[in-house]
Structure 1
Amino acid sequence: MSLDPLLLEILACPCPQHAPLRQDTLAGAPVLVCTACNLAFPVRDDIPVMLLDEASPFPEAAAPATS
């Protein structure tokens, strides 16, 4: 999956923090992960589904390390 960088720049998590998103995969499927609440939003047919009801927790072990 490769979303348009401009689209990724304007998308934000619908949680109260409205944090930026990063691209990743979960169980082999493309997702956008909130950098604040760590929820993974599915991407279906290259369309991000930005609904809290559709999101699932992104496993901590799979999250990238921050320094």
Structure 2
Amino acid sequence: MAVQLDPQLMEILACPSEDHAPLRAGTPTDPEADVLTCTECGRGFPVVDGIPVLLLDEAIPPDPARSGG
């Protein structure tokens, strides 16, 4: 199921890394994934029971296929 968060919340959510880039719902390969993906570093942050887990320790590493292209 795709991430369903309030659009106003999505406008203010940002990656917790020092980049502080905006997040987008899903991943580049799976737009329906329950993950918020950083538009800068590519880390994925899981959404559990409708709540984004914005902890770097819990982040999914960026997809290596995404880099370099």
Q: Into which bin does the TM-score normalised by the smaller protein fall? A: 0.7 to 0.9
Q: 1:23 aligns with which of 25, 32, 36?
A: 25
Identity %: 58
| Residue equivalent to 1:11 | 13
Q: 2:58 aligns with which of 48, 54, 58?
A: 54
**Runs of 4+ residues over 6 Å off in structure 1:** none
Query: TM-score under structure 2 normalisation?
Result: 0.77
Q: 2:46 aligns with which of 21, 42, 48?
A: 42
Cα RMSD, aligned residues only:
2.1
Structure with the higher strand share, 1 or 2: 1
- Higher relative contact order (Cα pairs below 8 Å, separated by 6+ residues): 2
Structure 2 unmatched runs, 5+: none
Counterpart amino acid of residue 60 in structure 2 = S
Distance of 1:60 and 1:9 partners within structure 2: 27
Structure with the higher helix share, 1 or 2: 1
